[in-house]
Amino acid sequence: MTTAQTSKPASKPTTEPRLPLEGVDVVLADLDGVVYTGRNAIPHAVESLNEAAKSTRIGYITNNASRTAATVAEQLSGFGLAVTADDVVTSPQAAIRLLQENVAAGSTILVVGGDGLTSVVEGAGFTVTRSAEADPAAVIQGFAPEVGWKDLAEASFALAKDIPWVATNQDWTIPQERGIAPGNGTLVSAVHTAVGKLPLVAGKPEKAIFDAAVERFGATKPVFIGDRLDTDIIGANKAGIASILVLTGIDQAKQVLAAPEGSRPDFLLADLRGLLQPYPATIEGAGAEGARTFTVGTSRVDLRGNRVIVVERGETRVDLLRAGAAAVWGSGLMIYGLDVDPVLYTE
């Protein structure tokens, strides 16, 4: 199986109460911003995933190409999760599938990246080089903290020839303990600027990594948890997999409200405790003078023409955001065509 067979809702957000994991046979979780930030576990993530694992298979997907699946599994185990290397699908693993489709077995490959990438390339029977003078058959590029100008230059020199270029991912940023740092997308962009061509991309938001995960775990109705719309959610949606955005990483209220169709999640959670809690219905109704009302729990947001107005803040911040997103997404207008109450994104 290479594609997920799922029943995604016809529209978002929900109109009836449901459990995020109802009917799900595999939970696929991103790592950075979902399970941990740098070396620190995110509050409530470990205990929530352990509880979900009692009834549902848990797999992990990461665009981070700097570490091996075994190293990732070791870190996750250190947090208290029951994880083996087979439970982790990395963007280098998906990238190898693209390499195998485009170059001959045993070819010499110029690698820009760390051990997480070189080990997978060598494990697939390719020969690794760091120099364009070795006449590589392709270039594969992934993030590692030690990647520098010389590495990017070698890739650029090699790509002067018409050879395949595979990028593990194009994430612009990576959440770290000290803040947000540049990701592999910035390094790929530097090479793109030099050579004037674009790579084949294996990681999110492309389908290759989702297909690899679905095949690995034999999933028939998976759900994917991510912290960013531009890679995690749009990628899951394109792959036909139900999507959950958790607000513990990159994207927050502003990004949720502005999300275009195609990058909107099926579920919006404050943290992973929401996996195990009933997901409230979004109730749309009619208000005074033609207003449309959107109520989630005790939160209510009205759409009056092009104005999105908070009427009741309610008991939880996430319910207010769910109601606000319902109003914005239900307007049929782009965010810049709306006058949005700042309460929705400034508190």
Beta bridge mates, 96: none
Task: Give all domains of the chain, ordered by start, each with its CATH number.
Answer: 26-63+205-276 (3.40.50.1000), 92-201 (3.40.50.1000), 282-346 (no CATH)
Rounding to the nearest 10 degrees, give the CA dihedral for residues 59, 75, 231, 25: 10
Note the pLDDT of residue 180.
86
Which region, left, alpha or beta, applies to residue 303 given φ > 0 means left and ψ of -120 to 50 means alpha? beta
Token output for 208:
């290759």
Pairing of strands 299-304, 307-312: antiparallel
Whose tokens are 């077995």? That residue is 105
State the SS3 of 231-260: HHHHHHHHCCCEEEEECCCCCCHHHHHHCC
Which region, left, alpha or beta, applies to residue 82 given φ > 0 means left and ψ of -120 to 50 means alpha? beta
- pTM (two decimals): 0.84
Catalytic (active site) residue 30: yes
Note the pLDDT of residue 298.
96
Phi and psi (nearest 5°) for 104? -70, 150
Catalytic pick from 25, 32, 171, 302? 32
Is there a contact between 239 and 3 (Cβ–Cβ < 8 Å)?
Answer: yes
Note the pLDDT of residue 39.
85
- Tens digits of residue pLDDT in 214-252: 999 999 999 999 999 998 999 999 999 999 999 999 999
Note the pLDDT of residue 16.
66
Note the pLDDT of residue 174.
81
Secondary structure class of 332 (helix, strand, coil): coil
Tens place of pLDDT for every residue, the chain, 347 residues? 334 444 343 345 556 678 999 999 999 999 989 999 888 999 999 999 999 999 999 999 998 888 889 999 999 999 999 999 999 999 899 999 899 999 999 999 999 998 889 999 999 999 999 999 999 999 999 999 999 999 999 999 999 999 999 999 988 888 777 888 899 999 999 999 999 999 999 999 999 899 999 999 999 999 999 999 998 999 999 999 999 999 999 999 999 999 999 999 999 999 999 999 999 999 999 988 889 999 999 999 999 999 999 999 999 999 999 999 999 999 999 999 999 999 999 97
Catalytic (active site) residue 151: no
Catalytic pick from 25, 30, 251, 271? 30
Q: Which helix (H) or strand (E) holds 123?
A: helix 115-123
